Homo-oligomer: A and B are copies of this chain.
Amino acid sequence: MIEPRTLKGFRDHLPAQAIAREKVLEIARRVYRSYGFAPIDTPALEYLEILTGKGSEETDKQLYRFKDHGGRDVGLRFDLTVPFARFAAQHMHKLGLPFKRYHMAAVWRGENTQRGRYREFMQCDFDTIGTTSPVADLEMVLVVHDLLTAIGVEFTIRINDRRVLAGILGRLGLTDRSTAVLRSLDKLGKVTPEAVAAELAAHGVAPDAVAALLEMAGLSGSAGDVLTRLERLVGDAEQGRAGVAALRTIIAGARDAGVAEGRIAIDPSIARGLDYYTGIVLESFLDELPALGSICSGGRYDNLAALYTKQSLPGVGASLGIDRLLTGLEELGRVATVETPADVFLVHFDECHVGDYLRIAAALRAAGMAVEFFPEARKLGQQLKLAAKRGFAAALVIGSEEFAAGTAQFKNLATQQSVAIDWHGDLHVLVDAVHSSLEALRHG
Protein backbone atom coordinates (compact mmCIF):
# COMPACT_ATOMS: atom_id res chain seq x y z
CA MET A 1 0.00 0.00 0.00
CA ILE A 2 1.36 3.45 -0.93
CA GLU A 3 0.97 6.18 1.66
CA PRO A 4 -1.40 8.85 0.30
CA ARG A 5 0.42 12.16 0.90
CA THR A 6 1.30 15.42 -0.80
CA LEU A 7 4.81 16.80 -1.20
CA LYS A 8 6.09 19.21 1.43
CA GLY A 9 5.03 22.75 0.51
CA PHE A 10 2.17 21.46 -1.68
CA ARG A 11 -1.45 21.11 -0.70
CA ASP A 12 -4.82 19.88 -1.80
CA HIS A 13 -7.79 22.17 -2.05
CA LEU A 14 -10.79 20.52 -0.46
CA PRO A 15 -14.26 21.67 -1.57
CA ALA A 16 -14.64 24.49 0.98
CA GLN A 17 -11.31 26.05 -0.03
CA ALA A 18 -11.80 25.36 -3.71
CA ILE A 19 -15.26 26.95 -3.67
CA ALA A 20 -13.91 30.06 -1.92
CA ARG A 21 -11.07 30.31 -4.43
CA GLU A 22 -13.33 29.84 -7.44
CA LYS A 23 -15.52 32.64 -6.13
CA VAL A 24 -12.61 35.09 -5.95
CA LEU A 25 -11.30 33.97 -9.34
CA GLU A 26 -14.74 34.51 -10.84
CA ILE A 27 -14.86 38.05 -9.44
CA ALA A 28 -11.33 38.80 -10.68
CA ARG A 29 -12.22 37.44 -14.12
CA ARG A 30 -15.33 39.60 -14.28
CA VAL A 31 -13.54 42.77 -13.16
CA TYR A 32 -10.53 42.26 -15.44
CA ARG A 33 -12.88 41.63 -18.35
CA SER A 34 -14.97 44.68 -17.54
CA TYR A 35 -11.93 46.80 -18.48
CA GLY A 36 -11.22 44.85 -21.65
CA PHE A 37 -8.37 42.71 -20.36
CA ALA A 38 -8.37 39.46 -22.34
CA PRO A 39 -7.37 36.05 -20.96
CA ILE A 40 -4.26 34.25 -22.16
CA ASP A 41 -2.50 31.09 -21.07
CA THR A 42 1.06 29.85 -21.40
CA PRO A 43 2.63 26.44 -20.70
CA ALA A 44 3.69 25.47 -17.20
CA LEU A 45 6.98 24.26 -18.68
CA GLU A 46 9.35 26.57 -20.57
CA TYR A 47 12.86 26.29 -21.94
CA LEU A 48 15.17 26.86 -18.99
CA GLU A 49 16.94 29.72 -20.78
CA ILE A 50 13.65 31.62 -21.00
CA LEU A 51 13.16 31.35 -17.24
CA THR A 52 16.70 31.97 -16.04
CA GLY A 53 17.28 34.91 -18.37
CA LYS A 54 15.49 37.45 -16.25
CA GLY A 55 15.22 35.81 -12.85
CA SER A 56 17.14 36.93 -9.83
CA GLU A 57 19.66 34.64 -8.16
CA GLU A 58 16.94 33.76 -5.67
CA THR A 59 14.35 32.70 -8.23
CA ASP A 60 17.02 30.80 -10.16
CA LYS A 61 17.79 28.82 -7.03
CA GLN A 62 14.10 28.10 -6.42
CA LEU A 63 13.40 27.02 -9.96
CA TYR A 64 12.07 23.48 -10.54
CA ARG A 65 14.29 22.40 -13.40
CA PHE A 66 15.04 19.13 -15.15
CA LYS A 67 15.78 17.50 -18.47
CA ASP A 68 12.74 16.43 -20.49
CA HIS A 69 12.35 13.27 -22.62
CA GLY A 70 14.26 14.94 -25.47
CA GLY A 71 17.13 15.96 -23.20
CA ARG A 72 16.09 19.64 -23.25
CA ASP A 73 16.70 21.75 -20.17
CA VAL A 74 13.27 22.85 -18.98
CA GLY A 75 11.76 24.48 -15.93
CA LEU A 76 8.40 25.18 -14.30
CA ARG A 77 7.44 28.87 -14.45
CA PHE A 78 8.07 30.71 -11.16
CA ASP A 79 5.88 33.69 -12.04
CA LEU A 80 3.57 34.86 -14.85
CA THR A 81 5.64 37.89 -15.85
CA VAL A 82 8.52 36.04 -17.51
CA PRO A 83 6.16 33.83 -19.56
CA PHE A 84 4.18 36.95 -20.52
CA ALA A 85 7.37 38.69 -21.67
CA ARG A 86 8.23 35.66 -23.81
CA PHE A 87 4.63 35.47 -25.06
CA ALA A 88 4.50 39.16 -25.95
CA ALA A 89 7.79 39.01 -27.88
CA GLN A 90 6.64 35.89 -29.72
CA HIS A 91 3.12 36.96 -30.68
CA MET A 92 3.36 40.77 -30.76
CA HIS A 93 2.65 41.03 -34.48
CA LYS A 94 -0.59 39.10 -34.05
CA LEU A 95 -1.77 40.88 -30.93
CA GLY A 96 -1.49 44.54 -31.86
CA LEU A 97 -0.60 47.22 -29.34
CA PRO A 98 -1.63 48.36 -26.83
CA PHE A 99 -2.45 44.89 -25.56
CA LYS A 100 -4.26 44.11 -22.32
CA ARG A 101 -4.15 40.63 -20.87
CA TYR A 102 -4.94 38.76 -17.68
CA HIS A 103 -3.52 35.42 -16.70
CA MET A 104 -4.59 33.29 -13.75
CA ALA A 105 -2.43 30.26 -13.20
CA ALA A 106 -0.23 28.29 -10.83
CA VAL A 107 3.47 29.01 -10.42
CA TRP A 108 6.10 26.94 -8.65
CA ARG A 109 9.00 27.89 -6.40
CA GLY A 110 11.15 25.56 -4.34
CA GLU A 111 10.97 28.00 -1.42
CA ASN A 112 11.80 27.46 2.20
CA THR A 113 8.47 26.29 3.58
CA GLN A 114 9.40 27.29 7.13
CA ARG A 115 8.27 30.81 6.31
CA GLY A 116 4.77 29.45 5.77
CA ARG A 117 5.18 29.72 2.04
CA TYR A 118 3.81 27.24 -0.44
CA ARG A 119 5.80 25.82 -3.32
CA GLU A 120 2.80 25.92 -5.61
CA PHE A 121 0.56 28.94 -5.59
CA MET A 122 -1.68 30.87 -7.90
CA GLN A 123 -1.13 34.27 -9.43
CA CYS A 124 -3.76 36.48 -11.09
CA ASP A 125 -1.93 39.09 -13.17
CA PHE A 126 -3.24 41.79 -15.45
CA ASP A 127 -1.13 44.13 -17.59
CA THR A 128 -1.46 46.72 -20.33
CA ILE A 129 1.57 46.81 -22.61
CA GLY A 130 2.58 48.95 -25.55
CA THR A 131 1.53 52.30 -24.13
CA THR A 132 2.97 54.88 -21.76
CA SER A 133 -0.42 56.57 -21.35
CA PRO A 134 -1.27 57.67 -17.81
CA VAL A 135 -4.76 56.31 -18.50
CA ALA A 136 -3.29 52.82 -18.36
CA ASP A 137 -1.67 53.62 -14.99
CA LEU A 138 -4.96 54.92 -13.69
CA GLU A 139 -6.82 51.86 -14.96
CA MET A 140 -4.50 49.62 -12.96
CA VAL A 141 -5.56 51.50 -9.83
CA LEU A 142 -9.25 51.34 -10.83
CA VAL A 143 -9.11 47.61 -11.53
CA VAL A 144 -7.60 46.94 -8.10
CA HIS A 145 -10.25 49.20 -6.60
CA ASP A 146 -13.15 47.49 -8.37
CA LEU A 147 -11.74 44.04 -7.59
CA LEU A 148 -11.38 44.58 -3.84
CA THR A 149 -14.73 46.37 -3.73
CA ALA A 150 -16.40 43.42 -5.46
CA ILE A 151 -14.76 41.01 -3.02
CA GLY A 152 -16.42 43.04 -0.29
CA VAL A 153 -13.55 44.02 1.97
CA GLU A 154 -12.40 47.34 3.42
CA PHE A 155 -9.06 48.20 1.85
CA THR A 156 -6.58 50.95 1.08
CA ILE A 157 -4.59 51.25 -2.11
CA ARG A 158 -1.19 52.84 -1.48
CA ILE A 159 0.57 54.32 -4.45
CA ASN A 160 3.85 56.02 -5.17
CA ASP A 161 5.90 56.86 -8.23
CA ARG A 162 9.44 55.61 -8.58
CA ARG A 163 10.39 58.92 -10.20
CA VAL A 164 9.58 60.73 -6.96
CA LEU A 165 12.11 58.53 -5.20
CA ALA A 166 14.62 58.95 -8.01
CA GLY A 167 14.15 62.74 -7.97
CA ILE A 168 14.68 63.02 -4.26
CA LEU A 169 17.69 60.69 -4.34
CA GLY A 170 19.12 62.79 -7.16
CA ARG A 171 18.62 66.01 -5.25
CA LEU A 172 20.35 64.47 -2.24
CA GLY A 173 23.27 63.30 -4.41
CA LEU A 174 22.47 59.64 -3.69
CA THR A 175 21.70 58.37 -7.19
CA ASP A 176 24.74 56.09 -7.16
CA ARG A 177 23.62 54.56 -3.86
CA SER A 178 19.92 54.26 -4.71
CA THR A 179 19.81 50.46 -4.51
CA ALA A 180 21.23 50.40 -0.99
CA VAL A 181 19.11 53.36 0.12
CA LEU A 182 15.86 51.93 -1.24
CA ARG A 183 16.61 48.56 0.31
CA SER A 184 17.03 50.26 3.67
CA LEU A 185 13.86 52.33 3.27
CA ASP A 186 11.93 49.20 2.30
CA LYS A 187 12.54 47.96 5.86
CA LEU A 188 10.41 50.73 7.34
CA GLY A 189 7.41 49.21 9.00
CA LYS A 190 9.41 46.10 9.79
CA VAL A 191 12.16 47.82 11.83
CA THR A 192 12.19 51.21 13.61
CA PRO A 193 12.98 54.47 11.79
CA GLU A 194 16.06 54.74 14.05
CA ALA A 195 17.38 51.40 12.82
CA VAL A 196 16.81 52.50 9.22
CA ALA A 197 18.56 55.81 9.95
CA ALA A 198 21.56 53.94 11.36
CA GLU A 199 21.68 51.70 8.31
CA LEU A 200 21.51 54.71 5.97
CA ALA A 201 24.31 56.40 7.90
CA ALA A 202 26.37 53.23 7.54
CA HIS A 203 25.91 53.55 3.76
CA GLY A 204 27.54 56.99 4.08
CA VAL A 205 24.31 59.01 3.79
CA ALA A 206 24.78 62.44 5.44
CA PRO A 207 22.58 63.26 8.46
CA ASP A 208 20.45 65.89 6.68
CA ALA A 209 19.88 63.50 3.79
CA VAL A 210 18.85 60.78 6.25
CA ALA A 211 16.39 63.23 7.80
CA ALA A 212 14.98 64.17 4.39
CA LEU A 213 14.58 60.51 3.39
CA LEU A 214 12.81 59.63 6.63
CA GLU A 215 10.59 62.69 6.30
CA MET A 216 9.66 61.62 2.80
CA ALA A 217 9.01 58.00 3.73
CA GLY A 218 6.97 59.04 6.73
CA LEU A 219 4.64 61.45 4.91
CA SER A 220 0.99 60.67 5.50
CA GLY A 221 -2.36 62.40 5.46
CA SER A 222 -4.69 63.31 2.63
CA ALA A 223 -3.40 62.75 -0.89
CA GLY A 224 -3.45 66.49 -1.52
CA ASP A 225 -1.32 67.23 1.55
CA VAL A 226 1.20 64.52 0.81
CA LEU A 227 1.53 65.70 -2.79
CA THR A 228 2.16 69.29 -1.70
CA ARG A 229 4.87 68.21 0.70
CA LEU A 230 6.42 65.84 -1.85
CA GLU A 231 6.53 68.71 -4.33
CA ARG A 232 8.68 70.64 -1.87
CA LEU A 233 10.94 67.64 -1.30
CA VAL A 234 11.59 66.98 -4.99
CA GLY A 235 12.29 70.69 -5.62
CA ASP A 236 13.12 71.30 -9.26
CA ALA A 237 14.35 67.77 -9.97
CA GLU A 238 12.68 67.03 -13.30
CA GLN A 239 12.01 63.34 -12.71
CA GLY A 240 10.65 64.02 -9.27
CA ARG A 241 8.27 66.67 -10.58
CA ALA A 242 7.05 64.29 -13.28
CA GLY A 243 6.40 61.69 -10.61
CA VAL A 244 4.41 64.04 -8.43
CA ALA A 245 2.40 65.22 -11.45
CA ALA A 246 1.63 61.61 -12.38
CA LEU A 247 0.39 60.91 -8.86
CA ARG A 248 -1.82 64.00 -9.06
CA THR A 249 -3.29 62.70 -12.33
CA ILE A 250 -4.10 59.35 -10.72
CA ILE A 251 -5.82 60.96 -7.76
CA ALA A 252 -7.89 63.23 -10.02
CA GLY A 253 -8.75 60.40 -12.43
CA ALA A 254 -9.83 58.10 -9.62
CA ARG A 255 -12.16 60.81 -8.39
CA ASP A 256 -13.59 61.18 -11.90
CA ALA A 257 -14.21 57.43 -12.02
CA GLY A 258 -16.14 57.61 -8.77
CA VAL A 259 -13.59 56.22 -6.30
CA ALA A 260 -14.37 57.29 -2.74
CA GLU A 261 -11.94 59.77 -1.09
CA GLY A 262 -9.40 58.03 1.08
CA ARG A 263 -9.46 54.68 -0.72
CA ILE A 264 -6.24 55.67 -2.41
CA ALA A 265 -3.35 56.97 -0.33
CA ILE A 266 -0.02 58.35 -1.47
CA ASP A 267 2.70 56.44 0.34
CA PRO A 268 6.18 57.70 -0.57
CA SER A 269 7.84 54.79 1.23
CA ILE A 270 6.70 52.23 -1.34
CA ALA A 271 9.52 51.25 -3.69
CA ARG A 272 8.59 47.66 -4.72
CA GLY A 273 11.83 46.08 -5.74
CA LEU A 274 14.79 47.84 -7.11
CA ASP A 275 15.13 47.64 -10.86
CA TYR A 276 11.95 46.61 -12.54
CA TYR A 277 9.47 49.41 -11.85
CA THR A 278 10.07 52.89 -13.27
CA GLY A 279 6.82 54.84 -12.74
CA ILE A 280 3.77 54.31 -10.57
CA VAL A 281 4.00 51.57 -7.95
CA LEU A 282 1.03 50.20 -6.05
CA GLU A 283 0.32 48.06 -3.01
CA SER A 284 -2.99 47.33 -1.36
CA PHE A 285 -3.90 46.28 2.12
CA LEU A 286 -6.91 44.99 4.00
CA ASP A 287 -7.81 47.71 6.53
CA GLU A 288 -8.58 45.12 9.16
CA LEU A 289 -5.38 43.14 8.55
CA PRO A 290 -2.62 45.49 7.39
CA ALA A 291 0.05 43.15 8.79
CA LEU A 292 -1.01 40.54 6.23
CA GLY A 293 0.98 42.58 3.71
CA SER A 294 -0.01 43.74 0.26
CA ILE A 295 -2.66 41.56 -1.37
CA CYS A 296 -2.44 43.18 -4.78
CA SER A 297 0.73 44.88 -6.05
CA GLY A 298 2.12 46.23 -9.26
CA GLY A 299 3.45 49.17 -11.16
CA ARG A 300 4.74 50.61 -14.39
CA TYR A 301 7.84 49.28 -16.13
CA ASP A 302 9.79 50.61 -19.11
CA ASN A 303 10.35 47.46 -21.03
CA LEU A 304 8.76 44.06 -20.52
CA ALA A 305 10.59 41.81 -22.90
CA ALA A 306 14.07 43.22 -23.49
CA LEU A 307 15.56 39.72 -23.30
CA TYR A 308 13.46 38.37 -26.16
CA THR A 309 12.85 41.27 -28.57
CA LYS A 310 14.39 44.56 -29.63
CA GLN A 311 11.02 46.27 -29.61
CA SER A 312 10.47 48.22 -26.45
CA LEU A 313 7.29 47.18 -24.63
CA PRO A 314 6.47 49.60 -21.84
CA GLY A 315 3.62 48.56 -19.64
CA VAL A 316 1.80 48.66 -16.37
CA GLY A 317 0.08 45.96 -14.39
CA ALA A 318 -0.54 44.28 -11.07
CA SER A 319 -0.95 40.86 -9.55
CA LEU A 320 -3.57 39.67 -7.09
CA GLY A 321 -2.05 37.45 -4.41
CA ILE A 322 -5.07 35.22 -4.20
CA ASP A 323 -3.66 32.83 -1.61
CA ARG A 324 -2.75 35.67 0.74
CA LEU A 325 -6.14 37.28 0.18
CA LEU A 326 -7.93 34.01 0.97
CA THR A 327 -5.82 33.60 4.11
CA GLY A 328 -6.92 37.09 5.12
CA LEU A 329 -10.59 36.48 4.32
CA GLU A 330 -10.47 33.28 6.33
CA GLU A 331 -8.86 35.07 9.28
CA LEU A 332 -11.63 37.66 9.13
CA GLY A 333 -14.27 34.94 9.08
CA ARG A 334 -15.34 36.12 5.65
CA VAL A 335 -15.08 32.76 3.91
CA ALA A 336 -18.24 30.68 4.02
CA THR A 337 -17.32 27.14 4.93
CA VAL A 338 -19.74 25.42 2.61
CA GLU A 339 -18.52 22.24 1.00
CA THR A 340 -21.15 22.21 -1.71
CA PRO A 341 -21.81 24.52 -4.62
CA ALA A 342 -25.45 23.43 -4.74
CA ASP A 343 -28.48 25.20 -3.31
CA VAL A 344 -30.86 22.38 -2.57
CA PHE A 345 -30.40 18.88 -1.21
CA LEU A 346 -33.14 16.65 -2.58
CA VAL A 347 -33.73 13.82 -0.11
CA HIS A 348 -33.93 10.34 -1.62
CA PHE A 349 -36.81 9.10 0.45
CA ASP A 350 -38.40 6.35 -1.51
CA GLU A 351 -36.85 4.25 -4.26
CA CYS A 352 -40.20 3.81 -6.01
CA HIS A 353 -40.18 7.54 -6.71
CA VAL A 354 -36.75 7.81 -8.33
CA GLY A 355 -38.41 8.83 -11.61
CA ASP A 356 -40.31 11.60 -9.82
CA TYR A 357 -37.19 12.81 -8.04
CA LEU A 358 -35.36 12.95 -11.34
CA ARG A 359 -38.16 14.98 -12.90
CA ILE A 360 -38.17 17.38 -9.95
CA ALA A 361 -34.39 17.78 -9.94
CA ALA A 362 -34.37 18.44 -13.68
CA ALA A 363 -37.11 21.08 -13.32
CA LEU A 364 -35.29 22.84 -10.48
CA ARG A 365 -32.04 22.85 -12.50
CA ALA A 366 -33.85 24.17 -15.56
CA ALA A 367 -34.98 27.06 -13.35
CA GLY A 368 -31.36 27.83 -12.49
CA MET A 369 -31.07 26.10 -9.13
CA ALA A 370 -28.28 23.67 -8.32
CA VAL A 371 -29.67 20.47 -6.82
CA GLU A 372 -27.98 17.46 -5.33
CA PHE A 373 -30.21 14.41 -5.41
CA PHE A 374 -28.88 11.93 -2.89
CA PRO A 375 -28.07 8.72 -4.76
CA GLU A 376 -29.25 6.26 -2.10
CA ALA A 377 -32.49 5.81 -0.16
CA ARG A 378 -30.76 6.02 3.24
CA LYS A 379 -32.45 7.02 6.47
CA LEU A 380 -33.81 10.57 6.44
CA GLY A 381 -31.78 11.63 9.49
CA GLN A 382 -28.57 10.36 7.94
CA GLN A 383 -29.20 12.23 4.71
CA LEU A 384 -30.11 15.48 6.47
CA LYS A 385 -27.04 15.24 8.69
CA LEU A 386 -24.74 14.94 5.69
CA ALA A 387 -26.57 17.79 3.95
CA ALA A 388 -26.19 20.06 6.99
CA LYS A 389 -22.50 19.18 7.42
CA ARG A 390 -21.85 20.07 3.79
CA GLY A 391 -23.51 23.44 4.17
CA PHE A 392 -26.56 23.05 1.96
CA ALA A 393 -28.95 25.93 2.59
CA ALA A 394 -32.04 23.79 2.29
CA ALA A 395 -33.33 20.26 1.88
CA LEU A 396 -36.42 19.27 -0.04
CA VAL A 397 -38.22 16.30 1.51
CA ILE A 398 -40.90 14.48 -0.46
CA GLY A 399 -41.87 10.99 0.64
CA SER A 400 -44.61 8.66 -0.62
CA GLU A 401 -47.27 10.35 1.48
CA GLU A 402 -46.23 13.78 0.27
CA PHE A 403 -46.31 12.59 -3.33
CA ALA A 404 -49.80 11.21 -2.76
CA ALA A 405 -50.95 14.47 -1.15
CA GLY A 406 -49.11 16.75 -3.60
CA THR A 407 -47.09 18.35 -0.81
CA ALA A 408 -43.43 18.77 0.14
CA GLN A 409 -41.29 19.95 3.05
CA PHE A 410 -38.75 22.70 2.42
CA LYS A 411 -36.31 22.51 5.30
CA ASN A 412 -33.97 25.36 6.24
CA LEU A 413 -30.92 23.38 7.34
CA ALA A 414 -29.46 26.21 9.41
CA THR A 415 -32.58 26.72 11.57
CA GLN A 416 -33.99 23.20 11.09
CA GLN A 417 -37.39 24.80 10.41
CA SER A 418 -39.61 23.41 7.70
CA VAL A 419 -42.14 25.09 5.46
CA ALA A 420 -44.86 23.01 3.82
CA ILE A 421 -45.33 23.41 0.10
CA ASP A 422 -48.64 22.51 -1.58
CA TRP A 423 -47.84 21.81 -5.17
CA HIS A 424 -50.75 19.55 -6.13
CA GLY A 425 -48.48 17.49 -8.34
CA ASP A 426 -47.79 20.53 -10.52
CA LEU A 427 -44.04 20.80 -11.12
CA HIS A 428 -44.22 24.50 -11.98
CA VAL A 429 -45.83 25.28 -8.67
CA LEU A 430 -43.19 23.27 -6.83
CA VAL A 431 -40.32 24.94 -8.69
CA ASP A 432 -41.70 28.43 -7.99
CA ALA A 433 -42.25 27.63 -4.32
CA VAL A 434 -38.73 26.23 -3.87
CA HIS A 435 -37.29 29.22 -5.68
CA SER A 436 -39.07 31.77 -3.53
CA SER A 437 -38.36 29.81 -0.32
CA LEU A 438 -34.66 29.85 -1.22
CA GLU A 439 -34.76 33.58 -1.90
CA ALA A 440 -36.50 34.20 1.41
CA LEU A 441 -33.93 32.07 3.22
CA ARG A 442 -31.06 34.00 1.65
CA HIS A 443 -32.36 37.50 2.25
CA GLY A 444 -33.41 37.14 5.85
B-binding residues in A (CB < 8 A): 1-8, 10-15, 18-19, 21-22, 29, 33-47, 49-50, 53, 62, 64-70, 72, 74, 76, 86-87, 89-91, 94-96, 98, 100-101, 106, 108, 110, 120, 128, 131, 133, 135-136, 138-139, 142, 146, 252-253, 256-258, 305, 307-310, 339-342, 345, 348, 354-356, 358-359, 361-362, 365, 369-376, 386, 389-390
CA distance A117 to B67 in the complex (A): 20
A126 vs chain B, min Cβ distance (A): 12
A25 vs chain B, min Cβ distance (A): 10
| Residues A376 and B98 in contact, CB atoms below 8 Å apart | yes
- List chain B residues, Cβ under 8 A from A19: 38-39
CA distance A74 to B39 in the complex (A): 30
Query: Interface centre among A70, A94, A135, A146, by most B CB within 10 Å?
Result: A135
How many copies of this chain? 2
Choose from B2, B66, B256 the contact partner of A355 (Cβ within 8 Å).
Answer: B256
Which 7 pairs from chain A and chain B are nearest by CB?
A36-B372, A66-B66, A15-B38, A10-B43, A133-B375, A13-B41, A256-B355
Instruction: From known contacts A69-B110, A128-B375, infer whether A46 and B7 are also in contact, taking CB-CB under 8 Å.
Output: yes
Choose from B12, B53, B94 the contact partner of A43 (Cβ within 8 Å).
Answer: B12
A395 vs chain B, min Cβ distance (A): 12
Give A42's nearest chain B residue, CB to CB: B12
Choose from B12, B69, B305 the contact partner of A91 (Cβ within 8 Å).
Answer: B12
| Residues B38 and A339 in contact, CB atoms below 8 Å apart | yes
| Residues B342 and A36 in contact, CB atoms below 8 Å apart | yes
Q: List 21 A-B contacts (CB under 8 A).
A: A2-B50, A2-B307, A4-B50, A4-B87, A4-B309, A6-B46, A8-B70, A13-B39, A14-B91, A18-B40, A18-B41, A19-B39, A35-B370, A36-B340, A39-B341, A45-B120, A65-B66, A66-B66, A68-B110, A133-B376, A135-B348
Instruction: From known contacts A253-B355, A372-B100, infer whether A2 and B53 are also in contact, taking CB-CB under 8 Å.
Output: yes
- List chain B residues, Cβ under 8 A from A89: 4
CA distance A154 to B133 in the complex (A): 47
- List chain B residues, Cβ under 8 A from A1: 307-310
- List chain B residues, Cβ under 8 A from A15: 38-40, 95, 101
| Residues B375 and A131 in contact, CB atoms below 8 Å apart | yes
